[in-house]
Amino acid sequence: MRWLVQPNPNPETVQSLAKALSVPSVVAQLLVQRGVTTFDAAKQFFRPDWSDLHDPFLMKDMKKAVDRLQDAINNNDTIMVFGDYDVDGTSAVSLLVHYLQHQKMEVMSYIPDRYAEGYGLSQQGIDKAVAEGVKLLFTLDCGIKAVDLIADANQKGIDVIVCDHHTPGEQLPAAHAVLDPKRPDCNYPFDGLCGCGVVFKLIQAHASTMGIEVQELQPYLDLVATASAADIVPILDENRVLTYFGMQVYQQSPRPGLMALLGERKQRAVSVTDLVFRVAPRINAAGRMKHGTYAVELLLSDSIEEATKRAEAIEVFNEDRKTLDREITEQALAQIEESGQTDKASTVVYDPDWHKGVIGIVASRLIETHYKPTVVFTRSGDVLTASARSVRGFDLYAALSACQDHIIQFGGHKYAAGLTIRPEQYDGFCQRLEEVVSKQIQPEQQERTLSIDMEIPIAEITPKFYRIINQMAPFGPGNMRPVFLSKGVVDRGYAKRVGSDETHLKCSFVAGVQSIDAIGFGLGDALEIVQSSTCDIAYVVDENEWNGKTSLQLNLKGLK
């Protein structure tokens, strides 16, 4: 792994900001690196305000969507809310269903079966809407490419409102309204919303027509924060505001379903990290292993007792997911070695029996070992379906666009996508993808890197320093938790491998006249480095709770 230390910003700007804010220069430097250079900008950064949200009616088709929704309320139309089976989709469905129920609307939710229907709006969903007499259909976190299906819904007398955040195809669907900040003709100031975020803008717009202030909608923001964290959208601009107020809901009164997923973790402050590594995988496990409806039912639970029972069922799904994840990853790694792909620019693996629900996770796992754009296929009926993941800086969506002659359909983002091909297209796809990636990928994109904010003496890590750094939360893409470098540190002699398989590293470093504990997940093999006379460490500052006591701890990201 190559360590990249960020260049020092203008020292005069740093000192001026440090003086204006009365903070250490280290903190001021972190802010300047994030584009925060003035007192007012820092105030907005540290204390996001509701006024920082954009006018939802700036989004193309928003007025059409709100007017049609109000007509549905006035006419008591039956509404179907159709959403994807991942965290973003199920959170979006839960949000809109909850809001519409408060409007006394008759509303039904629909999550497609991952295996029987696949991703996005389905014919089965439209047929169900027709059978139930649905007049208005919302597609959430999907729909932007469902041109033919939405045309079919129109012919059957159903109005469709698309709420999506994925990149549109060449043709927009002929829906009643298409809310997607990424559509080319949309001038909304921020296009980084997740699908659930787009839905929140819809209810913000509708609520405003009834004189409801956006602050009154804050109870919905625990769902938006969860979806934003899980979908890895940039925690900048509007997403920072929504996540900031969403985390307040988590600290004060999260909905029962989320509280049940947190379990004992709710006893202390909840962070975005908890959403990414505890809440999101469990919500996703429902759609991966069973059905996304389980997640919606959990998120809409009225009581903690009901939510706890549903969360226990989902926990079983998650344990099953972990087992499959490990088994398939081992098989895929063996296939890479046997097929001689280690020297290629891309990785493509396939097994007809791999579980469709975990191939996205497996793709991410393979990148940890073989750092290159990766596609994992399995069989789904008469076609092959795949999840694809990319490496830092490489636009996977653009690469797949260049392979369209070998693909039935695809969709996604720069770093994650899904695709479907016919079995006879497999060899051609592999060859074409390798040609595209080998031609487009840059040398620096083929090497795993660790971005480091700055070098500091380890003695500067104090409880006060940690408290100030923590005020920079919520962390996420665009505002990652700061990574520090300390050189020439000395272990106190207690370093050891820990964990059931001894893959983790536990140690303690001298910090002035004090010492500070450190944990390195997956860094057990670095024990000899720590036991040498001195070493350089890259880390984030964290807290560790043990036997009721909380202390500072370094979460190691690398050692040299």
Assign 28 to helix, strand or coil. helix
Please tell me the distance from the alpha carbon of residue 245 to that of residue 248, in angstroms, as a whole number.
5
48: nearest Cα among 237, 196, 202: 237
Query: What pLDDT score does 265 carry?
Result: 60
Please tell me the distance from the alpha carbon of residue 334 to that of residue 72, in angstroms, as a whole number.
55
DSSP run (H or E) holding 136: strand 136-140
Please tell me the distance from the alpha carbon of residue 20 to that of residue 372, in angstroms, as a whole number.
44
Query: What pLDDT score does 547 carry?
Result: 77
3-state secondary structure 476-512: ECCECCCCEEEEEECECCCCEEECCCCCEEEEEEEEC
DSSP state of 142: -
Instruction: Provide DSSP, 169-220.
Output: -SS----SEEE-TTSTT---S-----HHHHHHHHHHHHHHTTT--GGGGGGG
Query: What pLDDT score does 264 carry?
Result: 67
Per-residue pLDDT 10s for the chain (560 aa) are 899 999 999 999 999 999 999 988 999 999 999 999 999 999 999 999 999 999 999 999 999 999 999 999 999 999 999 999 999 999 999 999 999 999 888 899 999 998 888 889 999 999 999 999 999 999 999 999 999 999 999 999 999 999 999 989 889 999 999 999 999 999 999 999 999 999 999 999 999 999 999 999 999 999 999 999 999 899 999 999 999 999 999 999 999 999 999 986 655 688 898 999 999 999 999 998 999 999 999 999 999 999 999 999 999 999 999 999 999 999 999 999 999 898 999 999 999 999 998 999 999 999 999 999 999 999 998 999 999 999 999 999 999 999 999 999 998 888 999 999 999 999 999 999 999 999 999 998 999 999 999 999 998 898 989 998 999 999 988 899 999 999 999 998 889 999 888 999 999 998 777 889 999 998 999 998 898 778 999 999 998 887 778 889 999 999 99
Please tell me the distance from the alpha carbon of residue 145 to that of residue 121, in angstroms, as a whole number.
9
Query: What pLDDT score does 478 carry?
Result: 87
Structure tokens at 73: 């309320």
Query: What pLDDT score does 46 carry?
Result: 92
Side-chain-facing half-sphere of 93: CA atoms under 13 Å: 32
Query: What pLDDT score does 116 carry?
Result: 86
- pLDDT tens readout for residues 351-378: 999 999 899 999 999 999 999 999 999 9
197: nearest Cα among 540, 486, 476: 476
Q: What one-letter code names the amino acid at 378?
A: T
* Residue 54 Cα distances to 114, 193, 203, 380, 554, angstroms: 34, 12, 13, 42, 38
Query: What pLDDT score does 426 carry?
Result: 97
Q: What one-letter code names the amino acid at 555?
A: N
Q: What one-letter code names the amino acid at 466?
A: Y
Query: In the chain, what are the domains?
Result: 2-6+450-559 (2.40.50.460), 56-312 (3.90.1640.30), 339-446 (3.10.310.30)
373: nearest Cα among 351, 411, 400: 400
Which is it for the CA torsion 173, 220, 86, 330, positive or negative? positive
For residues 214 and 204, the answer to whether their CB atoms sit within 8 Å is yes
CA 375 to chain centre: 19
User: Can you name the residues that pair with 421 across neighbouring β-strands?
Assistant: 384
Tokens 């907005």 -> residue: 44
Percent of the chain with pLDDT over 90: 82
